[in-house]
Amino acid sequence: MDPKGWSTAHVLPAPDDATQWPAYREALARWRADEKRRIGYRDDLYLRPDFSWVPSSFACCFLMLCDEKFYDRRSGRYEVDAWIDAGLREFGGYDSVVLWHAYPRIGLDQRNQFDFYRDMPGGLEGVRKVSHAFQARGVKVYINYNPWDTGTRRESASDIDAVVAMVKAVDADGIFLDTMNQGSSEFRVKLDEARRGVVLESEGTLPSLKNIQDHHMSWAQDFEDSTVPGVLRDKWFERRHMQHQIKRWNRDHTGELHAAWMNGSGIMIWENVFGSWVGWSPRDRSLLRSMLPIQRRYAALFSGEGWTPLAAAGLPDVYASLWEQGAVRLWTVVNRAGEPRDGVVLTVPHASGARYFDLIRGRELRVAVSGGSVALRGTIRPRGIACFLAMPGSSLDRSFQTFLSGQAALDAHADFSTAFPPRDVVLRAAPKTIAAPMPAGMAEIGPVKCVMTVQYRIRETGFYTGQEYPYRRMFQQDQVKREVSLGRYAIDLAPVTNAQYAEFLQRSGYKPVHPENFLRHWKNGAPPVGTEEHPVVYVDLDDTRAYAAWAGKRLPTEEEWQYAAQGADGRRYPWGSEMRPHLCNAGESGTTTPVKAHPGGRSPFGCYDMCGNTWEWTESERSDGRTRFAILRGGSYFEARGSHWYMDGGPKPCDFAAKMLLMWPGLDRCATVGFRCAMDL
């Protein structure tokens, strides 16, 4: 068995021929010992008591802070306990959670990744309370670091210092290194000075075995396993290193679950993928619920030295790993086949006084000793798992019996349906508004019947349904065509200005429930001098709807907005087929301009500012119960540059739509988003 190339592999592939497995195991042992000597590996950080939690942190939840099940915008509360309770019911509970914050919203304006934590409900103190609430329930908390965020507002400190300060501010237990395969050594030094026991978890595979000594965790993302289950390189090298298996766009997670089970490693649980719904099937949830109690109870075995990969198995397509510590032996078993396997799963040497248990079914096995061995029988479901334990009868206690009963209950309620759990996206209906005569400053349009094309950039947010999986075509343009029927309507010739919004506030007395970032650019309750005719910004959907209702109007639907911008000939830009920066605010001034500053850029209906200056809200709010979003139109003066991960920016064609995830007013109010009104005629 030639281990050449293993030091740079993700998975150390296993041979198909079972007669080669002993040589494979010997090669694994030699390679590990040789590599540790070669690099002078030190395990000092794994020995520190403040990192003792790492080997048992098997289940990590990737939590979108804007998830409607986590943040209740109606009550204004983070639902930490409800989230943890749901995780216990559905997956078997979480050991850690990533508090994801900025992407895919970041880049809409100048706010940087650290501002997004500051602008969460309750500010940093609110996020700190979230951390403490998770920690009180035994769940460790990670914050996220986006190294690619270089095109937004800069902090006065370096990124590393800003991240460390954020860790300290919210009492985080770890940093998820987004897009990174390692953090610098400076991270480790400064983290230890700020808060002990904070781990670094890389998204990419660690580039060198030496990095394992100061990176306690890493993602095993999109790893391709061999037909016969292979061995995770980093987990084999350092048994206490925790890797979380993840293939976020998959609807079948059995490959990840098998890899975690055979390697004594962890799983990333992630269903709301940046606004796209990728729910787990009942089968995959059932498998994980059965796995996790065993992994947590026997974490010392899974992080110890007694690991034997590919212990002999007795059924086709069935494979096992053996974990030993003292007189305790545990076998983790997977069935790679799409059919059940039944019979003698393993034949193992008998130890005097040993009793045998099926830990997935939660029952003791009746075995007969024959020739110094016992046969362990069982039925393994399609793509399922098994687990057998041999332990001295003298070691049995009440806690073990309780554990066994819990496993039996989980198995009794296991659901092996592979059905995808869909979610329906519901569009909030636009209110009806009838006024006669039509107010001044509006264009009359319609009725209209046409086929409308909507262009969008493929991003991980998905689009209208939230179930478009973009991974293979990321950042490419795509389109949606649909038949549109519009009644007679009117739309404002120009976006609502600061002066108009000031008049609304004076006459209506409107005050938002959540004032955070409301009209943030105003000074002493008034627009900055000279900006009265600029489009009002730092208003969220509720702020715009309040103005529209006061004016006897409503927001335009996105179809109404698009038709008003491009006209009957379906032109690309309001003025024609070619982009002409001098006909719109393309960002030359670095800020907004008066709404009628570019009369040559008007649409066929005479509408101003339908390309550039600011994005505009439309009455397009949708929700699937987990992700709430709206569609923005028109583009803006601002474009974050330097990374394709940023949200769309700059002036946009009439038919371009951008999906904006919504959370709460303090975050949804932006420097680059304004609005205009419409009404039914």
Domains and CATH numbers, the chain: 426-680 (3.90.1580.10)
Quick one: tokens of 171? 């009492």
Rounded percentage of the chain residues whose pLDDT exceeds 70: 99
CB 562 within 8 A of CB 676: no
Predicted local confidence at residue 436, as pLDDT: 72
Q: Residue 502: which H helix or E strand, with range?
A: helix 498-508
Let me know if 403 is exposed, middle or buried by CB neighbors in 10 A (0-12, 13-18, 19+): middle
Parallel, antiparallel, or unpaired for β 373-380 and 341-349?
A: antiparallel
- Cis ω on the peptide bond leading into residue 104 (within 30° of 0)? yes
For 468-507, letters b (16+ CB in 10 Å) and e give: bbbeeeeeeeeeeeeebebeebbbbbbbbbbebbbebbee
Predicted local confidence at residue 470, as pLDDT: 65
Q: Which residues contact 211 (CB under 8 A, 6 or more apart)?
A: 181, 182, 202
How many separate helices (H) and strands (E) can be counted in the chain? 16, 34
Predicted local confidence at residue 79, as pLDDT: 98
CB 461 within 8 A of CB 274: yes
Of the candidates 253, 249, 240, the one whose C-alpha atom is nearest the C-alpha of residue 285 is: 253
Predicted local confidence at residue 511, as pLDDT: 97
pLDDT along the chain (681 residues), means of 10: 88 95 97 97 97 98 98 97 98 98 98 98 98 98 98 97 98 98 94 96 96 97 95 98 96 98 98 96 98 98 98 93 97 98 96 96 95 95 98 90 98 97 94 85 96 95 80 85 96 98 98 98 96 98 98 97 97 96 94 98 98 98 97 98 97 98 98 97 92
Let me know if 129 is exposed, middle or buried by CB neighbors in 10 A (0-12, 13-18, 19+): middle
Q: Residue 566: which H helix or E strand, with range?
A: helix 558-566
Predicted local confidence at residue 437, as pLDDT: 83
Predicted local confidence at residue 229, as pLDDT: 97
Q: Residue 34: which H helix or E strand, with range?
A: helix 21-39
- Measure the CA–CA gap between 334 and 325, rounded to whole angstroms: 21
| Concatenated DSSP letters of 271-309 | SEETTEE-PPPHHHHHHHHHHHHHHHHTHHHHTSS-EEE
- CB-side exposure of 678: number of CA atoms within 13 Å? 29
Parallel, antiparallel, or unpaired for β 448-457 and 385-392?
A: unpaired
CB 607 within 8 A of CB 493: yes
**Local structure of residue 482 (DSSP, 8 states):** E
Predicted local confidence at residue 294, as pLDDT: 98
For the beta sheet containing 385-392, the strands, ordered from the edge strand earlier in sequence to the opposite edge, are: 307-311, 318-325, 328-335, 385-392, 354-358, 363-364
- CB-side exposure of 223: number of CA atoms within 13 Å? 33
- Measure the CA–CA gap between 547 and 97, rounded to whole angstroms: 39
Name beta bridge partners: 246. 221
Of the candidates 562, 554, 521, the one whose C-alpha atom is nearest the C-alpha of residue 539 is: 521
Q: What CA–CA distances, in Å, run from 340 to 379, 415, 632?
A: 7, 14, 50
Quick one: tokens of 637? 């003066």
- Measure the CA–CA gap between 578 and 654, rounded to whole angstroms: 12
Q: Which residues contact 349 (CB under 8 A, 6 or more apart)?
A: 372, 373
Of the candidates 539, 533, 548, 527, the one whose C-alpha atom is nearest the C-alpha of residue 442 is: 548
The gap from C-alpha 56 to its chain's centroid, in whole angstroms, comes to 22
Let me know if 537 is exposed, middle or buried by CB neighbors in 10 A (0-12, 13-18, 19+): buried
- Measure the CA–CA gap between 414 and 284, rounded to whole angstroms: 10
Predicted local confidence at residue 457, as pLDDT: 94
The CB density around residue 124, as the number of other CB atoms within 10 Å, is 16
Predicted local confidence at residue 465, as pLDDT: 84
3-state secondary structure of 231: strand
Q: Work out the widest C-alpha separation in the chain, in whole angstroms.
A: 98
Parallel, antiparallel, or unpaired for β 96-100 and 140-145?
A: parallel
Parallel, antiparallel, or unpaired for β 217-221 and 242-246?
A: parallel
Provide the residue type at 586 as one letter.
Answer: A
Let me know if 205 is exposed, middle or buried by CB neighbors in 10 A (0-12, 13-18, 19+): buried
Of the candidates 670, 662, 668, 667, the one whose C-alpha atom is nearest the C-alpha of residue 67 is: 662
CB 285 within 8 A of CB 91: yes
Provide the residue type at 660 as one letter.
Answer: M
Residue 199 — φ and ψ, nearest 5°?
A: -95, 160
**H-assigned helices in 59-170:** 80-91, 113-118, 123-136, 159-170
- Digit-coded pLDDT (tens) for 415-447: 999 999 999 999 999 998 877 788 999 999 999
**H-assigned helices in 252-397:** 254-263, 282-297, 299-302
- Measure the CA–CA gap between 405 and 327, rounded to whole angstroms: 23
Angle between helices 541-550 and 498-508 (to 10 degrees): 70
CB 486 within 8 A of CB 445: yes
Give the end-to-end CA distance of the chain in Å, rounded to a whole number: 79
Of the candidates 450, 52, 419, the one whose C-alpha atom is nearest the C-alpha of residue 242 is: 52
CB 224 within 8 A of CB 260: no
Predicted local confidence at residue 471, as pLDDT: 63
